Amino acid sequence: MAQEVKLFEDMRNAVMYGKRDALKELIQQAFKEGRPPMSMLEALVPAMHEVGDKYERGDFYLPQMMIAARAMSEGLALLKPHLAANQTKPKGKAVIGTVKGDYHDIGKNIVKMILEAGQFEVVDLGVDVSPEKFVAAVKEEKPRFVLMSALLTLTIANMEKTINALSEAGLREQVKVGVGGAPLSQRYADRIGGDFYGKDAPEALRKCEQLV
């Protein structure tokens, strides 16, 4: 038991510090020892929350968060073939995009990476995404979340247009809409009829987990 606790703690630390090679070896060791894949998955999941906490406290910066997310994603990929379908079902599905007229994608890309590491399925619509394209994606992908990013004050108006387009298409009640980006705030999210504002990627993950 103590041996398992130590092994799983080492796996979590490997994720936290982005040691993907070490994580791979530890997962292989765990398989050799007959550890159930589901218990390995459950052991890893808290790691991304700890990474998010460290990032928000200022102990981790962007590179540390990114390599942790990468390690987590690679760990999940190793576990997936050994898990039953219902054990690997994503927690939820999100479509994400930078709104029309805006080409900034770094925030969107980081959120996508953190959500995937947090076991969400993410459909990336890219940049300069029109309200019509968001609506089409919701019809096709049937996500739980529509996540919109913008960096320019000019383009945040397109978030409200997208929300209105979802309402007109009769899709608004089916999804939770999250917004993020430098000019955004919870107050703005409320004003335009959004469900939440995520100040950073870890908060986006938390909100999606709460609202799924």
Binding segment (CB under 8 A) for other proteins, from list 8-16, 86-94, 100-108, 134-142: 100-108
The residue from 39, 103, 132, 167 that contacts other proteins (CB under 8 A) is: 103
Give 37 or 198: the residue with its C-beta nearer to other proteins. Answer: 198
Burial class (CB in 10 A: 0-12, 13-18, 19+), 103: exposed
Burial class (CB in 10 A: 0-12, 13-18, 19+), 82: middle
DSSP-derived secondary structure letter, 81: G
| Binding flag, residue 190, other proteins (CB under 8 A) | no
| Token representation of residue 107 | 């925030």
Give 98 or 119: the residue with its C-beta nearer to other proteins. Answer: 98
Q: Which residues contact 209 (CB under 8 A, 6 or more apart)?
A: 91, 118
The residue from 1, 32, 34, 63 that contacts other proteins (CB under 8 A) is: 63
| Binding flag, residue 113, other proteins (CB under 8 A) | yes
| Binding flag, residue 67, other proteins (CB under 8 A) | yes
- Nearest Cα neighbor of 51 from 34, 35, 67 is 67
| Binding flag, residue 199, other proteins (CB under 8 A) | yes
| Binding flag, residue 109, other proteins (CB under 8 A) | yes
CB of 60 to other proteins, least distance (A): 8
Q: How far apart are CA 17 and CA 69, in angstroms?
A: 10
| Binding flag, residue 18, other proteins (CB under 8 A) | yes
| Binding flag, residue 74, other proteins (CB under 8 A) | no
